Amino acid sequence: MSELIEKIFGNQLTELVALVSSAAEDDEKIVRMLLKQPNININIRDDKGFTALMRAVQGGHSKMVKLLLEEPGIDVNLKNEDGDSALVNAAVNCHLDIVRMLLEHPNIDVNIQDDEGSTALIYAAKEIAVMMKEYDSEDKDEISEIMFKINKLLYEDNMNVSSQNYREIVELLLDHSNIDVNIQDNLGYTALICAAGNNHKETVELLLGHPNAGDRIDVNLQDKKGGSALIYAVNENHKEIVKLLLNHPNVKDKINVNIKHNNGGTALMQATLHGYKEVVSILLNHPNIDVNATIQTSIIDEDTALTIAIKEGHKEIVELLLKHPKINVNQTFGMFHHVTALIRALQNDDEDVVKILLNQPDINFEGNDMVPNLFIPILRGKENFVNLLLKQGVNVNKKTFNGFTTLMCAIMDGHIKIVKQLLNHPDININDENDDGETALKYAVQYEQDGNTLIYAAEAGNARIVKLLLDQPGIDINAQNDEGETALDCAKRTGRRSVIRLIQSNIGLRKQQYITFEEITQPSNETIYEEFWKAISRGDDNEMNSFLDEDGKILIDINTRNKNGNTALIIASEKGNWNAVNWLLKRGANPSCKDVNGDNALITAARKGHFDVVEELLFRGANINSTGQHKRTALMAAAENRHIRVVKLLKKKGAKISIKDDNDKTVLDIINEKKHDDPENIYESIRGILESHSKQSNQFLQEGMESMSNKWEVSIDKCEKDLKNWEKDDPYTYKKIKILIKDIEKNPFRGGRQVERLTGDLDGLYSRRINKQNRLIYEVDGEKAIIISCKGHYEKEKRKNNRSRTSSTRNLLLERRRTSDDASIFCQFH
């Protein structure tokens, strides 16, 4: 034998076995010669574990396969080192004739699995999907439409032949009496799951209708993630497949239409989440559909298909679900059974859906005893929803589980228009009290008392609301809380001067018993301004807003200087308090005002390196090339103090580098003097920025262009992987992200797509909304915007509790404006 091999092959065969090698080369003559040898091992393997049969199958050599299969002792079920058998190999490579020959062999194991657990049937179902979807995955942005069509035409015939072959392979496999259609691979996929998830209708029909499959097939098998054929078909919006699975006579009585994914979601929830209206309609027509099934979304919260549709804003699907005869529109869920569809709609601020729900004949518009429905829009300050519920006939005096009334909540949150709405209701009980001994979960700490509505308003110090209440007939001005305090006592204790004055006046008008209290001296003009500058320094919205009248107009001269010669805008700019700077500029603060040294707000902010403040001042019209002390500009101040980001921003906005100070020095001269004391080479970096811009400007001028591009450079390096995943998995969202990035290129600080400046631990970052689940987070570094994240949400800084704690200053100023006959008194402040 060895002599024959050596004679035929010489010394070329070192590792490969002669029989295997000859079969791979389709050398029938040599193979026949070798097979005649008495001691030939027909199942001998090469170094990769392939037998002659496997190599012949791999090469698609039909005659060679037929020759080998006729040999006695042939083992058709052997696997190579990758776990592939001849049958699996033939199915994967779409060798129809070879599959047919293998299946005719009496010893064939039609259900043999490879190392991944896949069978020939699973592969055939998968490969059809690949063939049918191949051109769907082409990147049409990379090639022209014409080239795409040419390539498709050239490939189309081959694709049709291969697709037809795979279909016939599926049929051949199903014709085998031992076929097991329910085998799952290592990920839990079955042939049906593969075909359904990849939208191959003909394969699904074969699997459901074939005599060897239809009666045996388990249509409810789930993979490792809990996905069934139905869930995958629904998730991919394969409408025809969904219809087949639900209505095929062999499985329609077996299909579990309410089967749940590992995440707890049903097919109906998946279709609702994605907004697949037609699929939702198909599922709702199934007699066994559980339209009220729940999914746990957090430790204490749950959702149904209806609330998912509400949260996602799918109005038409909401209407479809509500038409189902078994829908429970008042279903409560969550750990405390505190959530309903109406509450979800109120939380989602969707007026159309709220109206649809309120028009349902059996809707419970009152809500539960824990937090009645009316409290949701009150706490959120949504007047339109309060009005809708009041028109529906909701109980305006209903209390929360801890005894708070609607009016108390509106007062404590400072929602004056809602307070007016409630007070105008004919059934409102303005003297209603909290439960004795109970305190509100989040208000008790702040207000430290129980009591009636007027007491809460007095405690909050909101003179406008106190006046509204005092004007109500039947108000009990002497009502006491658990500590025995009246509204007047509370106002005294907290120093609410304007509230004290209002209550005292009302007592006098009513000729009730006068309650004496110590004289409270009104603050002087100097004291008022000191309070104003302190409020600006802290940047507290509530404190700053106390200097506005009811129409939002400033009550004092916003540009008045303190004893150090600083205006409020300069104070805020030096502190780097963007919130205060923004508040002041919106109300007419003059960015040109200078301090005693001659520096304005822009120069001050640039010197301190307050990037966001510099940008805000420039956006509001501050003169970028204005000069201050020693005739130095903001660019000089930023460069001298090593603030690279501010230097980049100023240069991009057009700051001149040619301006000279009192010492006849430009900004480049100033940093040249500093470079000897620059261990981190920051001044060298600034020089590079300035000189680079200068050269670019000259180059553009030479080309006849007026200025450099206004676009900002956007870096996506930090989230490139996530962007690629979006492009692959969700092209629609990816397109939205690309639009957002283009908006950032135009202006990272402004735009109509919900730009949000983040604070707290995320100070210096910005956010733009992609969709309800995801936001684009980015940082601005000079003239460059760096995308940090494009998936999920960030942990927001807890907003300051926007209670109405208006100081007496505003009320004093308003009173002076209203009551003074001498206009000169008010002119001192305005």
List residues with catalytic annotation. 756, 793
Instruction: Quote the tokens at residue 555.
Output: 């009550």
Contact criterion met (CB below 8 Å) for 814 and 549: yes
Contact criterion met (CB below 8 Å) for 470 and 487: no
Distances (CA, A) of 522 to 316, 489, 496, 498, 525: 60, 18, 11, 10, 10
Q: How many CB atoms lie within 10 A of CB 337?
A: 12
Longest Cα–Cα distance in the chain: 132
**Which is it for strands 294-296 and 302-304: parallel, antiparallel or unpaired?**
antiparallel
Distances (CA, A) of 338 to 18, 184, 401, 753: 76, 41, 11, 33
Distances (CA, A) of 305 to 230, 274, 341, 360: 16, 11, 10, 17
Distances (CA, A) of 256 to 201, 268, 646: 20, 12, 62
Beta partners for 627? 633
Q: How many CB atoms lie within 10 A of CB 41?
A: 12
CA nearest 266: which of 258, 254, 274? 258
Q: What is the distance between the alpha carbons of residues 813 and 830, in angstroms, rounded to a whole number?
A: 10
Contact criterion met (CB below 8 Å) for 298 and 264: no
CA nearest 51: which of 80, 29, 22? 80
Instruction: Quote the tokens at residue 23.
Output: 């079969």
DSSP codes, 628-677: -GGG-BHHHHHHHTT-HHHHHHHHHTT--S----TTS--HHHHHHHHGGG
CA angle (762 as vertex; 761, 768 as ends), nearest 5? 150
Element (H, E) at 502: helix 497-510
CA nearest 99: which of 25, 37, 168, 199? 168
Q: How many CB atoms lie within 10 A of CB 745?
A: 15
Q: What is the distance between the alpha carbons of residues 416 and 515, in angstroms, rounded to a whole number?
A: 28
Contact criterion met (CB below 8 Å) for 490 and 459: yes
Q: What is the distance between the alpha carbons of residues 578 and 457, in angstroms, rounded to a whole number?
A: 31
Contact criterion met (CB below 8 Å) for 350 and 310: yes
